[in-house]
Chain A
């Protein structure tokens, strides 16, 4: 296959587990497996064992290394389209590394990160977008994130992109005929027809782009910052959210001391809470950093949750923050609404407009948490909770390509409007066509392939 050598890697995560998997792919796989693996009746692996689990032992010379289950898979019906062998052994680092060493000694070489998937791509089993989704699948933080990646692996995104490309190609072909056969009586496409067709393509691309924000959030998490004065209820909010939803990660190492993250699973949205330490210390971020620096801080967040005490009047800082929130993704919590309220929703609406949701809460009683979660989910999914039929773009490279395609189509539409002849528009239509092709790998870019697969983890 692609490289003559057979590759091997540990495919399960480092650390101790009940079972660990070593995987090898390439021409020598079966030969090596036969050499080191012995079944009870000491027979060789044959094509009849394809995708069957075989029980036996791994031997180094005459001594047993481990008791294992081995799955042989024969080319081309495998992940890489090469002969592939999985060895399920005991999960400690010792048996795993011993088996890998043994395989290496028998002529395989160590796989590079992502090399199994790279082979799957190079051997034509996956297109580029599908290959990339494999990485997203592995790294998915929530079931929804997984679903999105899985859809992409199934070719949903490629299918949509290919459909737009096919439409552009057909429009181009129709326009070209009139240029090359000016004297044949062929009906020319009118500007309005051209506009309609390019607009439809642009719409499809924009729809994918809109979903891409959802995709990014499902993949990378919704970075959220909670602000509010001391004792306004931020700690209670945090505790309620933590209880309500499963915390996924705590105290990500390596982040700076005043920005500590926790990730919560809110209706499938990975919500990354920024500066939870600050919240626990009951010190307000705005007071700590000052309004200007806080704003800069907010700018990096996808969502600002602003907690207000309904029993207190608005301070000048509150007013300032609200002004700032106006054109951002934010949720305002009017807490302690069970007490004698000084603030009402009307006062807030005056300052915030109608876009930002205001939720009455009593965080100490854990009231209003459901509503908050509803709002967050609504923001991310845009009202559609089912992702099954949607092609959500998770990948920054895809987003970039889509954005360029949308821009080129926009330029083409602009030229249509100015009444430019088609041969000028064609430059932009062609650019859009090529940019879309980059997503599925139809447009070959110089260093792209190597770049993409270097981001993979080892063993996939």
Chain B
């Protein structure tokens, strides 16, 4: 052990400077906490070690929500964008999801600038090897070089660094992502504090040289002609677009993989960690979907200043020679030169059911945890947890009530509730189908859902808040105007006919007309003579609110039902082992997770509806008994 020395005192210390760490540190510092963030290597701050894109279905919603709360991810993505696409536009507005291709280097550089220039925030290179806990509460931490920092709260954001082990065929070595140094001591220290640690696995495909590709055999994929920014602070965005390239595997590719499958670390049996179903390796894909003749792959640029290209869809733990061999069977990749081979990585992570929904550990006060270390996968999921952990660490130290979001308020709420309630048996990826109330949780209204709440706890800036207020006021005014302006049949019937909508017989308000499925705001312009100029986000809100009112209403009723069980709090002193109608599994799960409400209890796997009924009846009897006792 190196000689120890005192190195400083902080309110909040963040371990790890990835997407969770950066958002956590920024939130904490912006809320006035003296904050320090550690990274094993400062050059890897806000690194995108896997795909060069941010957002996507469900994930795009998370980025918008992080932005609405005053986070950084949306703003940095806007600065680093090389392509942008709104997915699912043929479907309803609730599942529109923004996805951007990002320049990885620029992403890192811009985020580092922000971190370095944020007051209350210190950035330090160093590996944390020990957390000191005294009286059930964090006290200090120690770096591998002997520096001890006293701190009132700690946020773990170690990503895939803890106990990191990389697999490329039979080549296995200890490493963090992308060849960076792993963190090998902290996990043992955490275990010594009684934390339950799991082993998860993820992987990334190869990076290949742009000059070795034959573009004539691949299909260019462009983004939207008018890109949409991620951040609500940006009204528009422009950049020089880079295309992605689409191509497919074939029978020959599959044969090469098939022949060598036992040389893969996955199938050879070296890997013990659990991987995600949502991001399968190519050997997994051809094994599980053996009847599928081809699999698509996208070749994506990693940035303006590099020739490295990311081969999306081809993550693998096959040896390097096989990787090159199977890729060279793919049209466009016949002469491909691999620059960085694909690898699988195994790492330590936390059983997230040890966390409260503030992301504080239940067993150790003021120890928070966020990101991939909590069993999630993806930059966006990490950032979303980071900002919530940062906020709650700050609030806790200030003695203020916690900040949590429930499943009806945000995708972030769904994400955290899923992790802490259900736990996860594979790296957790956000998807829109995980959100029950997604008609309300749209990416277009994240600011309306969250910004005011963040402003009230001192995180979202005044600029953000003012912008939201302005938007709300304009929406309100426009809705009133649409209701009050009536158009006569002779003015509008021609337009209606062209739109394939039935003609009207007497005057009708613009509001009523907009409710028709065939009519939209933009096409109504020609009969709406006095229409004021409005920002697109304003009239889009008006349109969505009017057009889908019936559906939104129904969803609100569902939320009401959801809240009934959510508002039924479970007393903290409840001894589940003593409630004998509960099945044994339910008793154990409930005792371990200690849900805050009957609603949360009902989502724990292993707790059946009958168990929930038992709980409800137990609570009622308990309340009655209390009532009688109090009456005496």
Interface residues of A (CB under 8 A from B): 1-4, 118-119, 121-124, 127, 176, 179-185, 418-424, 427-428, 430-431, 437, 441-444, 446-447, 449-450
Asked whether A421 lies within 8 Å of B439 as measured between CB atoms, the reply is: no
Q: Which residues from chain B contact A441 at a C-beta distance below 8 Å?
A: 609-610, 613
Asked if B581 contacts A446 (CB within 8 A), the reply is no
From B436, B517, B580, B602, give the contact of A2 (CB < 8 A): B580
Q: Is the CB of A444 within 8 A of B565?
A: yes
B620 near A421: Cβ-Cβ < 8 Å: no
Interface contact A427-B555, CB-CB below 8 Å: yes
B90 touches A421 (CB 8 A): yes
Do the beta carbons of B88 and A420 come within 8 Å of each other? no
Chain B nearest CB from A280 CB (Å) reads 50
What string of 1s and 0s marks CB contacts (under 8 Å) between B241-263 and chain A? 00000000000000000000000
**A275–B345 alpha-carbon span in the complex (Å):** 83
Query: Contacts A176-B433, A430-B558, A446-B616; is A182 near B517 (CB within 8 Å)?
Result: no
Q: Which of A1, A182, A185, A423 contacts B581 (CB 8 A)?
A: A1
Known: A121-B610, A428-B554. A450 touches B439 (CB 8 A): no
Task: Given contact pairs A179-B88, A421-B95, A443-B609, enumerate 17 new A-B contacts (beta carbons under 8 Å).
Answer: A1-B580, A2-B580, A2-B581, A2-B618, A122-B581, A124-B583, A124-B608, A176-B433, A180-B58, A182-B87, A182-B88, A422-B91, A424-B92, A431-B558, A437-B609, A444-B613, A446-B616
Complex Cα distance A182/B433, Å?
A: 13
Q: Which residues of B contact A2 (CB under 8 A)?
A: 579-581, 614, 617-618
Give A441 Cβ to nearest chain B Cβ, in Å: 5
In B326-372, which residues have CB < 8 Å from any A CB?
Answer: none
Q: How far is the CA of A267 from the CA of B487 in the complex (A)?
A: 65
Cβ contact within 8 Å between B610 and A180:
no
In the complex, what's the smallest C-beta–C-beta distance from A454 to chain B, in angstroms? Answer: 11
Would A185 and B609 count as touching, CB distance under 8 A? no
Q: Mark B34-71, 1 if CB is under 8 A from A, else 0.
A: 00000000000000000000000110000000000000
Determine the distance from Cα of A437 to Cα of B581 in the docked complex, in whole angstroms. Answer: 21
The chain B residue sitting closest to A27, CB to CB, is: B580
Residue of B nearest to A126 (CB): B610
Partner of B432, one of A179, A424, A443: A179
Collect the chain B residues with CB atoms within 8 Å of residue A418's CB.
517
Chain B interfacial residues counted at CB < 8 A = 42
Kindly provide the distance from the CB of A188 to the nearest chain B CB, expressed in whole angstroms. 9
Contact A179-B517, Cβ < 8 Å, known A1-B581, A122-B613: no
Chain B residues with Cβ below 8 Å from A443 are: 609
Interface membership of B148, Cβ < 8 A: no
Contacts of B581 in A (CB 8 A): 1-3, 119, 122-123
**Which residues from chain A contact B583 at a C-beta distance below 8 Å?**
124
Q: Is B438 an interface residue (CB 8 A)?
A: yes
B215 within 8 Å of A by Cβ? Answer: no
Q: How far, in Å, is A183 (CB) from chain B's closest CB? A: 7
B548 to chain A, nearest CB (A): 7
Question: Is A446 touching B612 in the complex (CB atoms < 8 A)?
Answer: no
Q: Of residues A419, A423, A447, which shows the largest number of chain B Cβ atoms within 10 Å of its Cβ? A: A423
Nearest CB of chain B from residue A172's CB, rounded to whole Å: 8
Q: Kindly state the separation between the CA atoms of A185 and B248 in the bound complex, as whole angstroms.
A: 11
A166 to B: closest C-beta gap in Å: 16
- Complex CA gap A437/B57 in Å reads 29
Q: Does B551 contact A (CB under 8 A)?
A: yes
Q: Are A179 and B95 in contact (CB under 8 A)?
A: yes
CB closest residue in chain A, given B564: A446
- In the bound complex, what is the Cα–Cα distance between A437 and B92 (angstroms)? 27
Residue of B92, B298, B583, B618 most packed against chain A (CB within 10 A): B92
CB-defined A-B contacts under 8 Å, sample of 10: A2-B580, A2-B617, A124-B608, A176-B433, A180-B432, A185-B296, A422-B92, A427-B551, A428-B554, A441-B609
Q: Mark B82-104, 1 if CB is under 8 A from A, else 0.
A: 00000110111011000000000
Distance between B365 CB and nearest chain A CB, rounded to angstroms: 33
CA A447 – CA B614 in complex, angstroms? Answer: 12
Instruction: Tell me what chain A mostly uses at the interface: helix, strand, loop, or mixed.
Output: loop
Contacts of A444 in B (CB 8 A): 565, 602, 609, 612-613, 616
Other-chain residue from B88, B432, B617 in contact with A122 (beta carbon distance below 8 A): B617
The distance in angstroms between the C-alpha atoms of A121 and B57, with both chains bound, is 41
What is the 8 Å Cβ interface bit string for chain B, positions 418-431, against chain A (1 contact, 0 not)? 00000000000001
- Roughly how many angstroms separate A176 CA and B612 CA in the complex, as a whole number? 28
In whole angstroms, how far apart are the Cα atoms of A124 and B580 in the complex?
12
Cβ 8 A contact of B439, one of A181, A183, A423: A423
In the docked arrangement, what's the CA distance between A450 and B548, Å?
37
Chain B residues with CB below 8 A from A446, complex form: 564-565, 568, 616
Rounded to whole Å, the gap between the CB of B220 and the closest CB of chain A is: 15
Chain B, 596-625, contact with A by CB distance < 8 Å: what is the 0/1 string? Answer: 000000100000111011101110110000
Give the shortest distance, in Å, between B562 (CB) and chain A (any CB). Answer: 10
**A181: nearest chain-B partner, CB-CB:** B57
Cα-based distance from A427 to B431 in the complex (angstroms):
17
CA distance in complex: A441, B608 (Å): 10
Supposing A122-B610, A423-B439, A443-B609 touch, asked if A3 and B433 sit within 8 A by C-beta, the answer is: no
How close is A311's CB to chain B, nearest CB, in angstroms? 58
Judging by beta carbons under 8 Å apart, are A449 and B613 in contact?
A: yes
Most buried by A among B568, B609, B612, B618: B609
Inter-chain contacts of A176 with B (CB < 8 A): 431-433
A182 to B90, CA, bound (A): 10
Q: How far is the CB of A162 from chain B (nearest CB, A)?
A: 13
Known A421-B92, A449-B613: A4·B57 in contact at CB below 8 Å: no
CA distance A424 to B92 in the complex (A): 7
Residues in A whose Cβ lies below 8 Å from that of B565: 444, 446
Cα–Cα distance between A441 and B612 once the two chains are bound (Å)? 10
Report chain A residues within 8 Å CB of B548.
424
A183 to B223, CA, bound (A): 13
B296-320 contact mask (Cβ, 8 Å, vs A): 1 or 0: 1010000000000000000000000
CA distance A442 to B551 in the complex (A): 24
The residues of A that contact B608 with a CB separation of less than 8 Å are 124
Q: Inside 8 A of A183's CB, which chain B residues have their CB?
A: 87, 296, 298
3 closest A-B pairs (Cβ-Cβ)?
A: A2-B581, A421-B92, A176-B433
Q: Is the CB of B91 within 8 A of A421?
A: yes
From B565, B602, B613, residue with most partner A Cβ within 10 Å:
B613
Cβ-defined partner of B57 (8 Å) among A122, A179, A427, A442: A179
Q: Which of A127, A176, A427, A447 counts the most B-chain CB atoms under 10 A from its CB?
A: A427
On whether the beta carbons of A423 and B609 are closer than 8 Å, the reply is no
The complex places the Cα of A441 from the Cα of B611 at a distance, in Å, of 11
Complex alpha-carbon distance, A424 and B610, angstroms: 31
Residues of A within 8 A of B568 (CB): 446
Q: Give A119 to B617 CA distance when docked, in angstroms.
A: 11
Task: Tell me whether B439 and A424 are in contact (CB under 8 A).
Answer: yes
Q: Nearest Cβ in chain A — how far from B166, in angstroms?
A: 28
CB within 8 A of A420: which of B92, B579, B610?
A: B92
Which of chain B's residues have a CB closer than 8 A to the CB of A184? 296
Q: How far is the CA of A45 from the CA of B94 in the complex (A)?
A: 65
**A118 and B90 alpha carbons, distance in the complex (Å):** 49
Nearest chain B CB to A227 CB, angstrom units: 45
Nearest-neighbor residue (CB-CB) of A440 within chain B: B609
Inter-subunit contact A179/B433 (CB<8 Å): yes
In Å, the complex CA distance between A443 and B608 comes to 10
Residues of A contacting B579 in the complex (Cβ-Cβ under 8 angstroms): 2
Which residue among B298, B548, B568, B617 has the maximum number of chain A CB atoms within 10 Å of its CB? B617
Write out the residue numbers on chain B whose beta carbons fall within 8 Å of the beta carbon of A422. 91-92
Alpha-carbon separation in the docked complex, A119 to B580 (Å): 11
A216–B613 CA distance with the chains assembled, in angstroms: 27
Instruction: Find the A residue at minimum CB distance from B552.
Output: A427
- Contacting residues, chain B, for A4 (C-beta < 8 A): 580
Within the assembled complex, what's the spacing in Å between the Cα atoms of A86 and B602? Answer: 36
Q: Tell me the complex Cα distance, A261–B551, Å.
A: 47
Checking A180, A185, A419, A427 against B554 with a beta-carbon cut-off of 8 angstroms, the contacting residue is A427
**A430 CA to B559 CA, complexed, in Å:** 12
Report A-chain residues with C-beta under 8 Å of the C-beta of B517: 418-420
